[in-house]
Amino acid sequence: MAGVGWGILGGALPGISPSIAMALLLPLTYGMEPGLAIVLLASTYVGAEYGGSIPAILINTPGTNAAAATVLDGYEMQRQGRGGEALGISLYSGVLGGLFGLTMLILLTEQLAEVALAFTPMAYFSLGLLGLSVIVSLSGESLLKGFAAALFGLMVATVGSDPISGVSRFTYGQPELLDGIAPILIMVGLFAVSELLRQASVPVWDKPMGEGARLKLPDGPMRRRLIKPQLLGSVIGTVEGVMPGAGGTIASFMSYNEARRWSKNKDEFGKGSPEGVAAPETANNTVASTALVPVLSFGIPGSNSAAILLGGLLVHGLLPGPRLFEENSGIVIGLYTGLFVATLSLLVLGMLILPVCLWLVNRPKAYLMAFIYALIFSGIYSIDQSLFDLGLVLGAGTVGFFMRLAGFPFLPTVLGVVLGYLVESNFRRSLVLSGGDYAIFLEDPISLGLLIVAGIFILGSLSARMWVGWRSLRGGSTSGLV
Amino acid sequence: MLRRAGGVLGIGIAYLLIVTTVGYVIALIMVLAAMLVYLGEGLNVQVALVSIGGACFFWVLFEYFLGISMPGFWGL
């Protein structure tokens, strides 16, 4: 529970990612029993992956990359005075997702590990492309603006060292840009800083009152309504989680997109849909468990936080791989049990912490805005102790403010920033492998399958938009046509 | 509208310019106070106390609780 509590705090503070929260704990685990140390680190990871959704819902600031998809409907619910309901849905879905992911981890580690090994650079490129295909349905009313926003995100992702040759690109002599621009900087700027700039210009404060200021777990009818998006999130989260490098961000965006596609209430998405919160939250927390498959099976960390967990295993003399399950089965069973307790602890700690968070965001506008600004300055600086990063966040916030004014959606930009490097690096690696032959993407069966699915997604979303546009045109409006 | 937003951005830029000179705590007190006054709270004892208390809270949270070194006074 201590690990989960620490993780929630780390995830909820913008800039303190799950990996940083775990890294801060790592030295403390040296003197612990190996099993306890690993459980503590894994619990922190579980808590941090959930914690990222709290600021996403309450203050429009995703605490982690994977929480970016939750912002869309979660913050809209908060603006409508339904923040307590949104937090309840996110908590309930997060716990269900975590338990589902843990079940998959226990039952299917061997089979899922084979899926992870089958992924080639071509398949990763196609997976990234599949993630980018979501842009078509996340573009809001104008597809052109959505594409422009995505292009901006992809351009930002090219800043830094070239993934193949190592040549610096668009760094303008700034050593801080050699490693590229971290997606969290763009997200905090686009969502949080631009919201502060907008709110400063709005005289009336749409502060949620009454029911919205209390945590509200889903009731019976709502739980039934959430089953479909939660199932989608669980399945997508399981598959994405086992692939090193894919991570919770793609899973949460794809789950959001699929939940909207299969929902009876499509029009509610983007306007405060409970399903729009449930799907990404389930996926994100499922990934937190299934991401341990490649770590435990092969010692392949798919993310920074998984790398720190791997470090924790190695520090205590535990070598990942098939022998881990034979020679240290007690520790593996202890890890599974600890993760189970940690996931249930999310529910208990969430019910204790979330009412306090709701109280905090219901303070007067000036106080809330001032403290959010101070939190951004402190949290962003803490990532790399860099004031340059803070300047980037303010720059992204200014761009975001003008994007809001011009009606450009943020999520395509976020997808571009998050997926740009994955797509580009694997595209180039594949071409190096094939000697420049593009047919390699069609020769790899997984890549071909993912490309076909991406093509179906794009065509399906485009035809749905055209249908809506045609109906609007007949009704006298052009909304949704372009 | 642009002027109001520009004021908030200006407070952020001012923080960037002074934080390495005056240090994290004093710069954060100034940001909190400037934001509160700019958003209409007026310069009074409550604003001063909240700004000082808030900055100290963040300093303790990041510097001691999370072990992250924040900019010190005059670059120390």
pTM of the full structure? 0.76
* Chain A: residue whose CA lies nearest to B3: A201
Section B1-17 average pLDDT: 90
B22–chain A Cβ distance below 8 A for any pair: no
The most distant pair of C-alpha atoms in chain A lies apart, rounded to whole Å, by 71
Determine the pLDDT at residue A481: 39
- Distance between CA B25 and CA B73 in Å, rounded? 8
The per-residue pLDDT for B7 is 93
Which of A375, A382, A387 is opposite residue B19, by nearest beta carbon? A387
pLDDT value, residue A152: 94
Domain layout of chain A by residue ranges: 2-116+170-409
Closest CA to B51 of A148, A269, A373, A253: A373
Question: SS3 for A101?
Answer: helix
Those residues of chain A that have pLDDT short of 70 are 14-17, 27, 30, 110, 112-113, 116, 137, 140, 203-213, 244-247, 299-304, 321-322, 475-482
Distance CA A445, CA A115 (A): 13
List chain B residues with CB under 8 Å of A369: 8, 35, 39
Q: Cα–Cα distance between A345 and A342 in angstroms, integer?
A: 5
pLDDT tens, position by position, A143-167: 888 889 999 999 999 999 888 888 9
Q: Which residue of B has its CA nearest to A401?
A: B5
Residues forming beta bridges with residue A160, ordered by sequence position: A169
Ordered DSSP codes for A83-97: HHHHHHHHHHHHHHH
Query: How high is the ipTM of this complex?
Result: 0.95
CA angle, residues A195, A386, A15, in degrees to nearest 5: 50
Cross-chain residue pair A371–B32, CB shorter than 8 Å: yes
Task: Give the A window 196-235 contacts with B, CB below 8 Å.
Answer: 196-198, 200-201
pLDDT at site A204:
60
What whole-number distance in Å separates Cα of residue A267 and Cα of residue A411? 17
Nearest CA in chain A to B19: A387
Tell me what pLDDT residue A478 has. 44
Q: A455 — alpha (psi -120 to 50), left (phi > 0) or beta?
A: alpha
B22 min Cα distance to partner chain A (Å): 14
- DSSP annotation string for A37-64: HHHHHHHHHHHHHHHTHHHHHHHS--SS
CA dist A169 and A172 (Å) reads 8
pLDDT of residue A206: 52
Question: Among all residues of chain A, which has the CA nearest to that of B47?
Answer: A367
CA–CA min distance B73, chain A (Å): 15
The answer to whether the CB of A90 falls within 8 A of the CB of A70 is yes
CB proximity A138 to B under 8 Å: no
CB neighbourhood size of A473 (10 A): 13
Q: Do A200 and B19 touch (CB under 8 A)?
A: no
Q: What does the pLDDT read at residue A480?
A: 42
Interface of A with B in 413-472 (CB under 8 A): none
How many other CB atoms are there within 10 angstroms of residue A326's CB atom? 9
- Residue B66 or A286, more confident: A286
By DSSP bridging, strand A160-161 and strand A168-169 are antiparallel
Which position has the token pair 């404060």? A205
Distance CA A382, CA A209 (A): 33
What angle in degrees, to the nearest 10, is found between the helix axes of A411-434 and A143-157? 60
Domain assignment of residue B66, given as a range: 2-75
The number of domains in chain B is 1
Q: What is the pLDDT of residue A245?
A: 60
pLDDT at A128: 84
Give residue B75's pLDDT. 52
pLDDT of residue A293: 80
| pLDDT given at position A212 | 56
Q: Which two tokens stand for residue A81?
A: 């005075």
